[in-house]
Structure 1
C-alpha cells in the first residue's frame, strides 16, 4: 500500500484499524507507513485488543515512541497504565497536531 500512496503523492492520512484483536500485527509490520506519512490520528477498536497484554504493550510502545497520546472520542487523555479500562474505541492523536481535538 505504501508504494501506491507515495506514487500518488499522498503525504498524510487518517487511519482506522479494526481487525478483531490483530491490530498489533499491523503495527509491527506497518512502521514504514508511520515513518513516511503524516498521520495525525489513528482510530483503533480496543474491544478485543485489551484481552492480550502482550499485544497491548506492542501497540502502546509503538504509538508512544512516535509521540501519540491515547484519547477518548471526546479527546480526554487516557492513562496508559489503565488500558484495560479504556473504551471500545481509542483515538491515538499525534502530539504535534494543533486543533485536532
Structure 2
C-alpha cells in the first residue's frame, strides 16, 4: 500500500482520534471538517464487514485448532458457550450474504 494512503479502518480511527483529541494534527494539516466526518462515517459499514469477516475466520480457525465454545466464549468476553456459537453463526450468515463485505 502506498504510504500516503490508509486503509478504511485506519481512516475511521484517524478521524475519530483527531476529533476526540487523542491524536494531534501535524503542522500545516487542516482541521477535521464535516466532509472528513461524513467520509469516515461512510466507511464504517465497510470496516464493520471487514471486522466481521476477520472475526468469523478467527473463530473458524479456533474451532479447527480444537478450542471449545467455552474457551472461545471466554476469549470473546461472552457469558456462555451458546452465546459464542450464536455469535459465530450470525457472523457467518452476515458475511455470506453481505454484498459489501470483502
**TM-score in terms of structure 2 length:** 0.29
The structure with the greater share of residues assigned to helix is 2
Kindly name which structure, 1 or 2, has the bigger radius of gyration based on alpha carbons. 2
More strand per residue: 1 or 2? 1
TM-score by length of 1: 0.30
